[in-house]
Chain A
Amino acid sequence: MSLARLIDLTKTYRMSAEVTVEALRGVNLTVEEGDYLAVMGPSGSGKSTLLNLIGCLDRPSGGRYVLGGEDVSRLSDSALSEVRGRRIGFVFQSFNLIPQLTALDNIEVPLFYQGMHRRQRRRRAAHLADSVGLGGRARHRPTELSGGEQQRVAIARALANDPLILLADEPTGNLDSRTGSDILDLFDALADRGRTLIVVTHDPQVGERTHRVVRMADGKVAGGEG
């Protein structure tokens, strides 16, 4: 059974009474466990919309999305939050760390919403910080960390609840090429260990590393395989 299946997924945004924008026009995509997938395509091709749907931040207008055997396309807001917290790990282009929290505290946030106890959280956060190579910087606040370090914190946070899918949105977009490739090395290592990763990117370098590339155009999957 596949990890995630998108069946004829559509998303239509209603801008006003007359104007509607069809961001996705029937996307079919199957993600298997252990997949390392790049989603590429020009801006406006529906990449971001697809990412939001896969990440359960939004609900599709039509079609079905089955994640880990559960149809999540019609879930309530609360249930969708639950799915995000348990099954999805997000890595963003601009890191999106909470500025007043230390690196460790940031890593703990998803664990907090899953109701894990404080001491357990601490332990797991410290372990995760080590595993992404953060070393002794774990007690610093985001503003005291370099871009690469911040992205490592974000990756550790995304892994905190041991998600089914790690979703990355232009993870190297705000980093210089050296640091960017360090982060991609980290992704490769995660993929090697069997983690399922979906990376949305413009960067052709990323596409070369992944097992699979899905090209989006005009709200549909244009190339690669569905």
Chain B
Amino acid sequence: MLSFKSTEIFRLGVRSLLVHPGRSILTMLGILFGVTAVIATLAVVRGIGEKMKEEVRRMGATNIIVEAVKPAQSESTTQSDTSGGMAVSYGLTYQDAERIRSSLPSAEVVVPARRIPVTARFLTRRTRAEVLGTVPWYEETYGIRAARGRWLTPLDQHKIDNVCVLGAGIARKLFPRTNPLGRSLWLGRFAYRVVGVVEERGKASGAGGEEADYDRTIYIPLTAAKHRFGETLMDRSAGTRSFEICELHEITVKVARAEQVRPAARIIGGLLERFHDPDKKDWAVRVPLERLEALERTQWLFAILGVSIAAISLVVGGIGIMNIMLATVTERTREIGIRRALGAKRKDIISQFLVETIVLSGAGGALGVPVGVLFAVVIPQLLTKAATMLGVGGEAALSALSRTVVTPGAVILALGTSLVVGVASGVYPAYRAAQMDPIKALRHE
């Protein structure tokens, strides 16, 4: 009997709502936009998270990255003499790479790399670039692909050839209209022949917070980097000259399985601790896997924050429902009196009004889902368009917003919250209706 009665009460609720269709639709809109906001916010947060995770994954979830860290600047300035600067020797060595390779059985590949800031020049065009001297297997370790031409080969390495592969950004900058393949460009004082251009890679933030812009990177054989550019780098930027001596800036170690990452990182840390000056910590171990896990946690945090803010609009929608229902209850006082006289119990009156708010919020929620999904699809397009029109927003920010992901969980959450809001906002008006004295209600004009 209860279930039979509940479908009847549902029918009754819908009918009462249809008495004032305009009012019901407006009330529903409050919930609709609340649900839209929750779904769209979650989609954006999720999209950014996915983008960031993808970036970390590109660094390789099974990779361990050891970086050279330049000792604090203050130390070198206090020790600097009048001869116009001093040489700082730091960083990783070929020996380190060899030690890691020989003492870490789980290491599948060890990829040493060296970074040299240069000015790249082709004819009259010039740009700041970073030369990355590395080995042929860097390519598969980092999963990058040559968009045109080829990647560095063992033969290039062996012959110490002056060949280079350009990052996508550099290629665009120096060769806007010409095919760079086969052309020679100047990297500092040395001429290099372009053999390939890699796909877009984007940016990645390093351990020290500085950004490595992979699209502005020029890849050359490590042997060539060592022979042409040497181990000493001169920095003339601050007016004074300073030298730094650093054999390797980066050693990437790839292990086979994710479980091996943490133990391997510990072993590498121990190894480096033993052979490097303990007072001068000039290296750091970076584990992308850990960043991935950290990202997952922060993404949760942002999702909760975003949803809390979006939920405010749901609460506002709920207040709208409560407002209308209180007015409705007053307006229908007489009807309540009649129903009570004809045998309706308090709980019948409560369920009658509660069903109305649940129908309102449920319908608002159900319509809010497609609108929210639509928003999630349209937002990135609109944002990109607006940003390019106004000329604001960094490339990174735009690319982070370029994707939104709607998950079933988000939809369920939004719908569930809207129903909770519907019940919560209906309880008080329904209770007021049920508490009315039938005699007074019958006399109400």
Contacts and interface: CB of A to CB of B under 8 A. Distances in A.
Nearest to B339: A109
A82 B342 contact: no
Contacts of B345: 77-78, 81-82, 113
Interface in A83-112: 84-86, 90, 92, 96-100, 109-110, 112
B343 A117 contact: no
B302 to A, nearest CB: 48
Interface stretch (B1-9, B91-99, B125-133): B1-9
Interface in B423-445: 438-439, 442
Interface in B326-354: 334-335, 337-348
A62 B345 CA distance: 24
A57 interface: yes
B19 interface: yes
A98 B16 CA distance: 11
Interface in B282-338: 334-335, 337-338
Given A77-B346, A78-B345, A113-B348, A98 B338 contact: yes
Interface in B354-393: none
A201 interface: no
A113 B348 CA distance: 8
A161 B342 CA distance: 10
Contacts of A112: 8
B15 interface: yes
Interface in B1-34: 1, 4-5, 8, 15-16, 19
Contacts of A92: 442
Contacts of A52: 439
Contacts of A78: 345-347
A113 B4 contact: no
A55 B338 CA distance: 13
Chain B contact residues (Cβ within 8 angstroms of A): what range?
A: 20 to 34
Nearest to B445: A94
Nearest to A78: B345
Contacts of B335: 98-99
A109 B340 CA distance: 10
A58 interface: yes
B343 A86 contact: yes
B19 A81 contact: no
Chain A contact residues (Cβ within 8 angstroms of B): what range?
A: 20 to 34
A81 B15 contact: no
B4 A157 contact: no
A115 interface: yes
Given A96-B338, A96-B442, A100-B16, A118 B343 contact: no
A52 B437 CA distance: 12
Contacts, number: 64
A205 interface: no
A113 B439 CA distance: 19
Given A100-B19, A115-B5, A82 B334 contact: no
B24 to A, nearest CB: 13
A100 B18 CA distance: 10
Contacts of B342: 84-85, 90, 109-110, 113, 157
Nearest to B337: A96
A99 B331 CA distance: 12
A117 B1 CA distance: 9
Contact of B4 (A57, A77, A117): A117
A2 interface: no
Interface string B377-414: 00000000000000000000000000000000000000
A84 B341 contact: yes
A114 interface: yes
Contacts of A117: 4
A90 B341 contact: yes
A29 B425 CA distance: 47
Contact of A81 (B8, B337, B343): B343
> Chain B CB within 10 Å — which of A55, A58, A97, A98 has the most?
A98
Contacts of A84: 340-343
B344 A81 contact: yes
Interface string A112-143: 11110110000000000000000000000000
Nearest to A51: B439
Contacts of B15: 100
A114 B346 contact: no
B4 A115 contact: yes
Interface string A28-70: 0000000000000000000000001001011000000000000
Contact of B439 (A58, A85, A157): A58
A108 B339 CA distance: 11
Nearest to A79: B345
Nearest to B334: A96
Give the 6 A-B CB pairs with smallest separation, nearest first.
A85-B343, A113-B343, A81-B345, A110-B342, A100-B19, A96-B338
27 contacts: A52-B439, A55-B341, A57-B340, A58-B439, A77-B346, A78-B347, A81-B344, A82-B343, A85-B342, A85-B343, A86-B343, A90-B342, A96-B337, A96-B338, A96-B341, A98-B338, A98-B339, A100-B15, A100-B19, A109-B342, A110-B343, A112-B8, A113-B343, A113-B344, A114-B343, A115-B1, A118-B8
Interface of B: 1, 4-5, 8, 15-16, 19, 334-335, 337-348, 438-439, 442
Given A57-B341, A161-B343, 17 more contacts: A57-B340, A57-B439, A81-B344, A82-B345, A84-B341, A90-B341, A96-B442, A97-B338, A98-B339, A99-B335, A109-B342, A110-B342, A112-B8, A113-B342, A113-B344, A113-B348, A115-B4
